[in-house]
Amino acid sequence: MPPVAHSGGSRCHIGMRPPLRRQNRVEAVDSCRIARCFVARRCSKTSMAVIGPGLTTANFITSSLRSSLSEMLPRARTDKPPLLFVHGGYCDAWCWEPFFLPWFAAQGFPSHALSLRGHGASGGQESLFVAGLDDYVADVEHVAAALPSPPVLIGHSLGAAVVERILTTRPVRAAALLAPVPPGGLGPVASRLMAWQPEYLVNMHRLDAPHLSGDVLAALRPMYFSETIDPKILAEAFTHLSVESPRALLDLMLRLHGGKPVAAARLFVLGSHDDRISAPADVNATASLYGIAPIIVRGLAHMMMLEREWETAARPLLDWLEREVVSPAATASARRASRS
């Protein structure tokens, strides 16, 4: 199906459905940023909550599902494309809120983070156990189609796999893969973890317990976070831990992600030398699949966006956005203006 046209001449490259009409808009203003709530068409209700300075959550409510979105927008009008961040497994959109959303908004990028179905404040908890990667893809597409212009997709871990699956089915503006699942799927990763960190896999299966015990959290910490993480960030992160869909994990085991993109796209791949889950070899394999060179940083654990040194990952991503996404678009716009 061809890309869907937005009003105003821009095109949504990843939506197979008509774009969600913005029937209502609520603005929250502080001294730094403007935050807006966009409401999906066919919605029975909408909500918007200010959850921090300049940060809001917006609910996209259709006839079948509520998708929760955290947003931070630049104060000044910008021509830079929106960013849509997609979280990894066992967590929700909160992981982007402390650092990445405000920082990228301050760089002029409208920044949005989606909670996939069954995660965070999004609907679908009752059917999470049968939700697969294609369902997560649909969540991303619904929200992306409602944004004012096609977003740059930025996925972490399982979220990177969701973005990769989108790449194989339709054109995208650009995409960044952080700590991605390797092309061989989770099988080799699970085998490595079983050999070197067997307690990790055991404790991941205990995340659905009504009250997480201290030993479970203690076992998970070194797999996801470095020793230098802010204790307050760590405590908050643990409150956002959640069970993950077995169906989605099976899709990753079966390598139902990645592959040749349906159209050329600007891609970025980043991992960390100190990531115990997405090892550098896994990141290199993903980059090789797409014929690009990865960025491998040091000092960051798997949940790199929450580390004290989070800018170690954010700055290379910003450099790529400015060089490969913003600059070419500005050049093309100038050429069009010179012809008119």
How sure is the predictor about 193, in pLDDT bands with cuts at 50, 70 and 90? confident
For position 147, what pLDDT does the model report? 93
For position 182, what pLDDT does the model report? 93
Q: Say yes or no to pLDDT of 2 above 60.
A: no
How sure is the predictor about 46, in pLDDT bands with cuts at 50, 70 and 90? very low
pLDDT per position as a tens digit, 17-34: 333 333 333 333 232 332
What is the DSSP pairing of strand 66-74 with strand 48-52?
unpaired
How confident is the model over 58-86, as a mean pLDDT? 87
pLDDT per position as a tens digit, 107-161: 999 999 999 999 999 999 999 999 999 999 999 999 999 999 999 999 999 999 9
CA nearest neighbour of 14 among 262, 292, 255: 262
Q: What is the pLDDT of the chain when averaged over all its residues?
A: 81
pTM listed for this prediction: 0.82
For position 55, what pLDDT does the model report? 73
Long-range contacts of 121-126 (CB under 8 A, 24+ apart): 121/57, 121/59, 121/66, 121/68, 121/92, 122/65, 122/66, 122/67, 122/68, 122/92, 123/65, 123/66, 123/67, 124/65
How sure is the predictor about 53, in pLDDT bands with cuts at 50, 70 and 90? low
How confident is the model over 85-109, as a mean pLDDT? 97
What is the DSSP pairing of strand 83-86 with strand 55-61?
unpaired
Q: What does the block give as tokens for 10?
A: 């821009």
- Identify the structural domains of the chain with CATH numbers, from first to last: 4-339 (3.40.50.1820)
The Cα 167–Cα 86 span in angstroms is 14
